[in-house]
Structure 1
Amino acid sequence: MDRPVILHSDMNNFYASVECLDNPSLQGKPVAVTGDPDARHGIILAKNYEAKKCGVTTGEPLWMAKQKCRDIIFIPPRYDRYIQVSQDAHEIYEEYTDRVETFGLDECWLDVTASTHLFGQGKEIADTIRSRIKKELGITASIGVSFNKIFAKLGSDLHKPDATTVIGEDFKSKIWNLPANMLLYVGKATYSKLIKYGIHTIGDLACTDINFIERLLGKNGIMLWAFANGLDQSPVSHVYSRRIIKTIGNSTTTPRDLSDETDIKIILYILAESVAERMRKEHFYCRSVQISIRDNTLFTFERQGRLVLPSCTSQAIFQKAFELYQRNRPANPVRSLGVRACNLIYTEYRQLSFLQDAVKDQKQEDLERAIDRIRERHGHYSVQRGIMLADRKLSHLDPIAEHTIYPESFLKAQHQSQ
């Protein structure tokens, strides 16, 4: 049976490249995208090659980058623009395969196994895609080609910018001498633990006794050992596998009419928690939040607002929902409330960021995932927010039973009926 043909496309220095594309005066100058250029403790999020040549690295403080490169230009991020360019790249990918799986805004896996008889072998398809991204989008990409996702990802990391790297059956001679932390999911802590036992390279990991790796790292150790030996068999998701789900929402008719702000907060928190929990289970992040309000005269309206960053936390959803409520407070008491996460992004992997708001949201997400696990074992009410004690009757709503997911067919019907 023939091996699969998997590509991994990584658009080079994505944020900084888009900024230089949109502002030609930045071309040839050292540029860095930062969380807050005016903050004394700001962080470098992305840099172009001119800044990299000066020694500027992602994640370092702005003052340090300025010391290394006096002429560096700091630019705040524009996520809406990055999302648009990412979507443009996806349109190119989908001309070659319907199996496209995102890994952050700038990275993507493509399974082109079924397309080789139409567009050529994997390297030829990769070269064509790179050429089109450069010509049509104005930025460059590095693409790895292999028989599994892990090696394809490693290939795209090996040679930058604007390069195609093939890792085939000769993978042992090509990558086993590389540091083990170049393998996906071998983070800093895991690599430090491996080094303590003399496991420095991918080859060292591959040749270590699997039982020892399991004792050292648990199930993750078995996974990493398989990755190092080229045994990853995880499929590339179908491009439409999650697009059918457009929004995730929850609404409820309250036990009594509400006008007190604390009561509104209780219900919005309950709804936000239920929506966020379902999003995490389904591997979704939302870019905007919508609330629906019905007052005691049965007058109903909806309002929607965008988040600064895509999120799957109840805290981010609640804050936006409550902000929308405050700006659109009804004249009459509230009879029912709804919260809906919209503009969903599907990804099984969270792309880490050094942006201050993103770091805060990532910590909140970790906390809420821990709460998910506790509630799975001990019940939903085993962990509650303090505000829920303000009114036991209001806070005793069962949010899990009221989950609603709005598929594409439902939204089309809604649109046609309006």
Structure 2
Amino acid sequence: MDRIILHCDLNCFYASVELLSHPDLRDVPMAVCGDPQSRHGIILAKNEPAKKFGVQTAETIWQAKKKCPDLVLLPPHHDLYREYSRKVNAIYDEYTDLVEPFGIDESWLDVTHTLHLFGGDARALADALRERMKRQLGLTLSVGVSFNKVFAKLGSDYKKPDATTVISRENWNELVWPLPVGDLLYVGGAARKLLKQYGITTIGQLAACKPEMLETLMGKMGTQLYDYANGLDRDPVRSRYDTEPVKSVGNGTTFPQNLTTREQVHAGIAVLADSVASRLRHAGLYAGGVQVTVRDPQFHDRSRQRQLAAPTHLIRDLTDAAMELLYELWKPPSPIRALTVTAIHLVQEGEAYEQVDLFSSGPGKEKQEKLEGAMEQIRKKFGADAIVFGAARPEKEEDPLP
């Protein structure tokens, strides 16, 4: 028996919530954005009139104002958005216990075993949900209805705003395959660019590829995308009350000023590695690998990752590995706007001990474990800022290298 899955996407969520308090702006171009005076000044959401001017989420404010000089800018109110997100998901809970949020404004609902309680017609249920959301909360939804999560999400994206799209066993080839490959879940800019090099620009062309070829090009992600394009996704809808295994632990930051020296970058990496190491300790996890992402002032991201010789949660190990990766991506004085350090290939504490014993570097490693363990105890007692790893404290800045 096919599953019946809805993907509900709140239209222009941040902007829609703000418009509840500013109904006079409903018909004029308006956007929610970060601080226009800071480097975080990007568009977070926009209303439909702003969309008609080509204003896009995540572009800078000056780019948006260039397209639409009369664009009205409002500051974000994240507590309010979280409050409305809770209200929306509480409504979804009345229809099924399988509600899986995908960000603050999207959720999957598996109504396979409850649809009969609401009339038995999936499209009618989606339409009823849209009407209820407008009447009760003043927000609009786009809803995709399908037999798996990937196609349900494609359905909610297919027609906006305030629409229902059904992607069924009978019509999915006709609806899905002509779509751009970038519309498929998890096909980001880098994957899209790679696939384009091989003439793959639509989901249908991706579906026609041999899975072995895609695996060679993209690893496990390639075979996953093959399944997605061919309607073979079987990923379950998980209740938000179910704990999902942690797959990675990362931290990133945008710096107030571009980093241009090795000393600045090392200090930034060390701070991020310290945060990641602390979170790993609290979760009883060890990193089997590290990934570093560098963003330049033009918002171009580049990433590298590698397996570690042995699982670790030590700040020193994470910092050293991250710096090695960084030097594959960056040469001073090229400016760095933002950095992210991510622990990947995570293993539980018990599993890690067996592997660490095989590769341990002896007393030095034990001493570092005791040192960082003591740091954690101090932080628990006196606060997170009570003590920092030495390399995390910026030293005197050096001049940019020639």
Question: So what's the TM-score if we normalise by structure 2?
Answer: 0.65
2:342 equivalent in structure 1: 368
1:39 Cα offset (Å): 3.0
2:98 equivalent in structure 1: 99
Matches within 5 A, 1:399-410: none
CA contact (8 A) 1:9 1:141 kept: yes
- Distance of 1:371 and 1:229 partners within structure 2: 28
Compared CA separation, residues 279 and 11, structure 1 to 2 (3 A): farther
1:204 equivalent in structure 2: 205
SS of the equivalent of 2:235 reads: coil
CA contact (8 A) 1:270 1:395 kept: no
Matches within 5 A, 1:164-183: 164-169=164-169, 170-183=171-184
Q: What letter matches 2:146 in structure 1?
A: S
1:152 equivalent in structure 2: 152
Match of residue 395, structure 1, among 372, 397, 400: 372
- Distance of 1:85 and 1:279 partners within structure 2: 36
SS of the equivalent of 2:134 reads: helix
1:175 Cα offset (Å): 1.2
CA contact (8 A) 1:37 1:75 kept: no
CA contact (8 A) 2:276 2:342 kept: no
Verify: 1:6 aligned to 2:5, yes or no. Answer: yes
Q: What letter matches 2:159 in structure 1?
A: H
SS of the equivalent of 1:108 reads: strand
Compared CA separation, residues 137 and 280, structure 1 to 2 (3 A): farther
Q: List runs of 5+ in structure 2 lacking aligned partners.
A: 245-273, 289-313, 316-336, 381-402
SS of the equivalent of 1:174 reads: helix
Verify: 1:275 aligned to 2:282, yes or no. Answer: yes
- Distance of 1:175 and 1:392 partners within structure 2: 52
CA contact (8 A) 2:127 2:164 kept: yes
Number of residue-to-residue matches in the alignment:
293
1:191 Cα offset (Å): 1.0
1:350 equivalent in structure 2: none
- Distance of 1:34 and 1:276 partners within structure 2: 34
- Distance of 1:59 and 1:271 partners within structure 2: 30
1:395 Cα offset (Å): 2.8
Instruction: Please give the root-mean-square deviation of Cα atoms over the aligned residues, in Å.
Output: 3.6
1:241 Cα offset (Å): 2.0
Compared CA separation, residues 392 and 233, structure 1 to 2 (3 A): closer
Q: What letter matches 1:211 in structure 2?
A: E
Verify: 1:143 aligned to 2:117, yes or no. Answer: no
CA contact (8 A) 2:280 2:286 kept: no
SS of the equivalent of 1:369 reads: strand
- Distance of 1:24 and 1:42 partners within structure 2: 24
1:227 equivalent in structure 2: 228
1:50 equivalent in structure 2: 49
- Distance of 1:379 and 1:92 partners within structure 2: 48
- Distance of 1:396 and 1:279 partners within structure 2: 14
Give deviations 1:382-403, integer Å, cap 9, x for gaps: 89xxxx99x985434597xxx9
- Distance of 1:279 and 1:162 partners within structure 2: 45
SS of the equivalent of 2:65 reads: helix
1:356 equivalent in structure 2: none
Give deviations 1:1-60, integer Å, cap 9, x for gaps: x21000000000001111111222322121111121233772111111111111211122
What's the % identity of the aligned pairs? 46
Compared CA separation, residues 271 and 228, structure 1 to 2 (3 A): closer
Higher relative contact order (CA 8 A, sep 6+): 1
SS of the equivalent of 2:73 reads: strand
Compared CA separation, residues 371 and 194, structure 1 to 2 (3 A): closer
Q: List runs of 5+ in structure 1 lacking aligned partners.
A: 244-266, 282-313, 316-358, 404-418
- Distance of 2:279 and 2:229 partners within structure 1: 41
Give deviations 1:274-301, integer Å, cap 9, x for gaps: 22666999xxxxxxxxxxxxxxxxxxxx
CA contact (8 A) 1:31 1:50 kept: yes
Question: So what's the TM-score if we normalise by structure 1?
Answer: 0.63
CA contact (8 A) 2:286 2:346 kept: no
